[in-house]
Amino acid sequence: MLLVVPLVAAAAVVWQQFGLGSTGAVTSGLALLGGALLAAFPQLAAWRSRLSQRVEFKATTERPARESVDEAVAHVLWSALLSVLGAVLAAAVENSVPTGEQIEAAGVPYWTWIAMGAALVALSTYLVLTFVVIVNLLWSAYRRASKDEDEEAAARAAKRSRGSAA
């Protein structure tokens, strides 16, 4: 799914012979996305550390939450790298590939323009899908960790009430 949809989007760009005119907004967006993903990494690392510290008490129940966070971290770092590469590609498209009538005058093959646009569309589509995966993984980990915290709090409250009743 993560590879099929971007490849279909790239194939549609090639089939329609759609070339990107101005990629300034795409360059800025991908650069901001890369920065945001890198900024999210320390937060996820801190959350993972807290889950690891709690593992002494519940090794089996904390494992799924930790694995979800680990997978989300891998996707975040990979997406940050791809965002930077996408920004570089978008800047290359903007600055080196002529548009419209300039293509004929510059002697650049038309397919080069289309191929770079298709690669940029595929990369952007992949990043959007990866973002959906990251959000899903983090939501799953949050729900699992919250459920375990609620169960621990209920167990402590029950233990206190038994202790005060005795």
Phi, psi of 22 (to 5 degrees): -125, 130
Contacts of 34 (CB under 8 A, 6+ apart): 80, 81, 83, 84, 87
The reply to whether 162 falls in a domain is no
> How sure is the predictor about 111, in pLDDT bands with cuts at 50, 70 and 90?
confident
DSSP string covering 97-138: S--TTHHHHHT--HHHHHHHHHHHHHHHHHHHHHHHHHHHHH
The reply to whether 30 falls in a domain is yes
Q: What is the mean pLDDT of the chain?
A: 81
The reply to whether 41 falls in a domain is yes
The reply to whether 151 falls in a domain is no
The reply to whether 158 falls in a domain is no
> How sure is the predictor about 99, in pLDDT bands with cuts at 50, 70 and 90?
low
Q: If you search the block for the tokens 């009430």, which residue do you land on? A: 161
pLDDT in tens, 33-52: 888 888 989 988 888 888 77
Domain count, the chain: 1
Domain span including residue 129: 3-14+23-98+106-146
The reply to whether 164 falls in a domain is no
pLDDT at 4: 93
Query: Span 90-103, mean pLDDT?
Result: 69
The reply to whether 129 falls in a domain is yes
